[in-house]
A = this chain, B = another copy of it.
Amino acid sequence: MARTPRRPAAPRRDAGRPRGAPVTEAVLSRTLEELAAVGLEGMRVERIAARAEVNKTSVYRRWPTREALVAAALEGVLASFSTAMPDTGSLRGDVLALVTPIAEFLASDTGRAVLRAAMASSSALAVADVAARAVEGGGRGPLASLVRRARRRGEWRRGVAPTLLFGSLVGAVIHRVMLEHGAVTPRWLASLVTLHLDGVHPR
Protein backbone atom coordinates (compact mmCIF):
# COMPACT_ATOMS: atom_id res chain seq x y z
CA MET A 1 0.00 0.00 0.00
CA ALA A 2 2.47 2.58 1.29
CA ARG A 3 0.35 5.63 0.59
CA THR A 4 2.08 8.95 0.28
CA PRO A 5 1.64 11.22 3.30
CA ARG A 6 -1.13 13.84 3.23
CA ARG A 7 -0.58 17.49 2.51
CA PRO A 8 -0.17 19.77 5.60
CA ALA A 9 -3.77 20.80 6.25
CA ALA A 10 -5.83 21.89 3.28
CA PRO A 11 -8.32 24.54 4.35
CA ARG A 12 -11.96 23.51 3.96
CA ARG A 13 -14.75 25.78 2.89
CA ASP A 14 -17.60 23.69 4.20
CA ALA A 15 -19.53 26.53 5.80
CA GLY A 16 -23.18 25.79 5.27
CA ARG A 17 -22.48 23.10 2.67
CA PRO A 18 -25.73 21.21 1.98
CA ARG A 19 -26.04 17.50 2.67
CA GLY A 20 -28.43 14.70 1.93
CA ALA A 21 -31.42 15.31 -0.32
CA PRO A 22 -30.40 18.77 -1.60
CA VAL A 23 -27.19 17.31 -2.94
CA THR A 24 -29.05 14.54 -4.73
CA GLU A 25 -31.44 16.96 -6.36
CA ALA A 26 -28.71 19.36 -7.42
CA VAL A 27 -26.65 16.60 -9.01
CA LEU A 28 -29.58 15.07 -10.89
CA SER A 29 -30.64 18.46 -12.13
CA ARG A 30 -27.13 19.28 -13.33
CA THR A 31 -26.92 15.89 -14.96
CA LEU A 32 -29.93 16.68 -17.11
CA GLU A 33 -28.44 20.03 -18.06
CA GLU A 34 -25.18 18.40 -18.93
CA LEU A 35 -26.91 15.75 -21.02
CA ALA A 36 -28.87 18.39 -22.90
CA ALA A 37 -25.78 20.52 -23.43
CA VAL A 38 -23.08 18.09 -24.50
CA GLY A 39 -24.87 14.80 -25.01
CA LEU A 40 -24.26 11.41 -23.51
CA GLU A 41 -20.78 11.03 -24.96
CA GLY A 42 -19.52 14.40 -23.85
CA MET A 43 -20.92 14.11 -20.35
CA ARG A 44 -18.26 14.19 -17.60
CA VAL A 45 -19.05 13.17 -14.07
CA GLU A 46 -16.45 15.51 -12.66
CA ARG A 47 -17.96 18.52 -14.42
CA ILE A 48 -21.43 17.66 -13.16
CA ALA A 49 -20.05 17.44 -9.65
CA ALA A 50 -18.30 20.77 -9.99
CA ARG A 51 -21.40 22.53 -11.32
CA ALA A 52 -23.47 21.04 -8.52
CA GLU A 53 -20.81 22.37 -6.13
CA VAL A 54 -20.14 18.92 -4.82
CA ASN A 55 -17.15 16.63 -4.89
CA LYS A 56 -16.87 13.86 -7.44
CA THR A 57 -16.61 11.40 -4.59
CA SER A 58 -20.01 12.35 -3.27
CA VAL A 59 -21.55 11.64 -6.64
CA TYR A 60 -19.99 8.21 -6.82
CA ARG A 61 -21.14 7.48 -3.30
CA ARG A 62 -24.76 7.86 -4.39
CA TRP A 63 -24.67 6.33 -7.85
CA PRO A 64 -22.03 3.66 -8.24
CA THR A 65 -21.52 4.17 -11.96
CA ARG A 66 -22.07 6.82 -14.52
CA GLU A 67 -24.85 4.74 -16.07
CA ALA A 68 -26.69 4.65 -12.76
CA LEU A 69 -26.44 8.41 -12.52
CA VAL A 70 -27.92 8.89 -15.97
CA ALA A 71 -30.67 6.38 -15.30
CA ALA A 72 -31.61 8.17 -12.08
CA ALA A 73 -31.75 11.50 -13.85
CA LEU A 74 -34.01 10.05 -16.53
CA GLU A 75 -36.36 8.47 -14.03
CA GLY A 76 -36.68 11.85 -12.42
CA VAL A 77 -37.70 13.66 -15.55
CA LEU A 78 -40.10 10.94 -16.64
CA ALA A 79 -41.76 10.66 -13.27
CA SER A 80 -42.72 14.32 -13.52
CA PHE A 81 -44.71 13.50 -16.62
CA SER A 82 -48.16 13.04 -15.21
CA THR A 83 -50.24 14.31 -18.06
CA ALA A 84 -53.51 15.91 -17.16
CA MET A 85 -55.97 14.77 -19.80
CA PRO A 86 -59.01 16.97 -20.34
CA ASP A 87 -62.01 15.72 -22.31
CA THR A 88 -61.96 17.89 -25.43
CA GLY A 89 -65.14 16.39 -26.84
CA SER A 90 -63.59 14.62 -29.82
CA LEU A 91 -61.08 11.87 -30.38
CA ARG A 92 -59.02 14.18 -32.54
CA GLY A 93 -58.86 16.81 -29.84
CA ASP A 94 -58.01 14.27 -27.18
CA VAL A 95 -55.21 12.72 -29.20
CA LEU A 96 -53.73 16.11 -29.97
CA ALA A 97 -53.90 17.04 -26.30
CA LEU A 98 -52.14 13.83 -25.36
CA VAL A 99 -49.43 13.96 -27.99
CA THR A 100 -48.60 17.65 -28.10
CA PRO A 101 -46.81 17.96 -24.75
CA ILE A 102 -44.95 14.71 -25.34
CA ALA A 103 -43.84 15.86 -28.77
CA GLU A 104 -42.76 19.23 -27.46
CA PHE A 105 -40.68 17.58 -24.78
CA LEU A 106 -39.07 15.15 -27.21
CA ALA A 107 -38.20 18.01 -29.53
CA SER A 108 -36.44 19.99 -26.80
CA ASP A 109 -32.73 19.69 -26.11
CA THR A 110 -33.41 17.83 -22.91
CA GLY A 111 -35.90 15.54 -24.59
CA ARG A 112 -33.53 14.58 -27.37
CA ALA A 113 -30.80 13.93 -24.85
CA VAL A 114 -33.12 11.75 -22.78
CA LEU A 115 -34.10 9.85 -25.87
CA ARG A 116 -30.52 9.27 -26.91
CA ALA A 117 -29.61 8.09 -23.45
CA ALA A 118 -32.65 5.87 -23.19
CA MET A 119 -31.75 4.15 -26.44
CA ALA A 120 -28.03 3.93 -25.86
CA SER A 121 -27.82 2.54 -22.39
CA SER A 122 -28.83 -0.84 -21.13
CA SER A 123 -31.10 0.96 -18.71
CA ALA A 124 -33.37 1.56 -21.69
CA LEU A 125 -35.76 -1.05 -20.41
CA ALA A 126 -36.35 0.66 -17.11
CA VAL A 127 -36.76 4.05 -18.70
CA ALA A 128 -39.20 2.89 -21.33
CA ASP A 129 -41.20 1.06 -18.69
CA VAL A 130 -41.54 4.16 -16.58
CA ALA A 131 -42.64 6.21 -19.56
CA ALA A 132 -45.13 3.62 -20.78
CA ARG A 133 -46.64 3.13 -17.38
CA ALA A 134 -47.05 6.88 -16.95
CA VAL A 135 -49.15 7.16 -20.08
CA GLU A 136 -50.82 3.80 -20.42
CA GLY A 137 -51.22 3.25 -16.72
CA GLY A 138 -52.97 -0.11 -16.90
CA GLY A 139 -56.50 1.10 -17.61
CA ARG A 140 -56.25 4.16 -15.44
CA GLY A 141 -53.81 6.30 -17.44
CA PRO A 142 -54.67 9.14 -19.81
CA LEU A 143 -54.52 6.85 -22.83
CA ALA A 144 -57.06 4.43 -21.43
CA SER A 145 -59.59 7.13 -20.58
CA LEU A 146 -59.12 8.69 -23.99
CA VAL A 147 -59.97 5.38 -25.62
CA ARG A 148 -62.96 4.83 -23.36
CA ARG A 149 -64.46 8.16 -24.30
CA ALA A 150 -63.83 7.58 -28.00
CA ARG A 151 -65.56 4.21 -27.88
CA ARG A 152 -68.54 5.77 -26.15
CA ARG A 153 -68.76 8.35 -28.92
CA GLY A 154 -68.45 5.68 -31.59
CA GLU A 155 -65.18 7.14 -32.87
CA TRP A 156 -63.05 4.03 -32.32
CA ARG A 157 -62.99 1.29 -34.90
CA ARG A 158 -63.10 -2.19 -33.42
CA GLY A 159 -59.82 -4.06 -33.32
CA VAL A 160 -57.46 -1.09 -33.06
CA ALA A 161 -55.01 -1.59 -30.19
CA PRO A 162 -54.55 1.59 -28.13
CA THR A 163 -50.86 0.94 -27.51
CA LEU A 164 -50.28 0.50 -31.22
CA LEU A 165 -51.70 3.94 -31.88
CA PHE A 166 -49.67 5.47 -29.08
CA GLY A 167 -46.44 3.77 -30.11
CA SER A 168 -46.92 4.81 -33.70
CA LEU A 169 -47.54 8.44 -32.80
CA VAL A 170 -44.57 8.66 -30.48
CA GLY A 171 -42.43 6.72 -32.91
CA ALA A 172 -43.28 9.11 -35.69
CA VAL A 173 -42.23 12.02 -33.50
CA ILE A 174 -38.98 10.25 -32.66
CA HIS A 175 -38.27 9.64 -36.33
CA ARG A 176 -39.04 13.26 -37.11
CA VAL A 177 -36.84 14.63 -34.35
CA MET A 178 -33.90 12.25 -34.34
CA LEU A 179 -33.51 11.20 -37.95
CA GLU A 180 -35.28 13.72 -40.17
CA HIS A 181 -34.15 16.60 -37.96
CA GLY A 182 -37.40 18.33 -38.86
CA ALA A 183 -39.34 20.77 -36.74
CA VAL A 184 -42.33 19.58 -34.75
CA THR A 185 -44.84 22.30 -35.61
CA PRO A 186 -48.53 22.27 -34.70
CA ARG A 187 -49.18 21.93 -38.42
CA TRP A 188 -47.02 18.84 -38.70
CA LEU A 189 -48.56 17.32 -35.58
CA ALA A 190 -52.01 17.94 -37.03
CA SER A 191 -51.13 16.06 -40.23
CA LEU A 192 -49.72 13.22 -38.20
CA VAL A 193 -52.88 12.87 -36.15
CA THR A 194 -55.05 13.12 -39.26
CA LEU A 195 -53.05 10.34 -40.86
CA HIS A 196 -53.60 8.10 -37.88
CA LEU A 197 -57.29 8.86 -37.48
CA ASP A 198 -58.36 8.82 -41.12
CA GLY A 199 -55.73 6.63 -42.75
CA VAL A 200 -54.30 6.78 -46.26
CA HIS A 201 -57.21 5.14 -48.01
CA PRO A 202 -59.80 7.59 -49.32
CA ARG A 203 -63.08 7.82 -47.45
* A residues with CB within 8 A of B: 39-41, 91, 115-116, 118-121, 124-125, 128, 131-132, 150, 154-158, 160-161, 164-165, 167-168, 170-176, 178-181, 191-192, 195-203
Contacts and interface: CB of A to CB of B under 8 A. Distances in A.
Contacts of A196: 168, 195-196, 199-200
A31 to B, nearest CB: 17
27 contacts: A41-B120, A115-B119, A116-B120, A119-B120, A124-B178, A124-B181, A128-B179, A128-B180, A150-B200, A155-B200, A155-B201, A156-B202, A164-B195, A165-B200, A167-B175, A167-B176, A168-B172, A168-B192, A168-B195, A171-B176, A174-B174, A174-B175, A195-B196, A197-B199, A197-B200, A198-B199, A199-B199
- Copies per complex? 2
Contacts of A175: 167-168, 170-171, 174
Contacts of A167: 172, 175-176, 179-180
A161 to B, nearest CB: 7
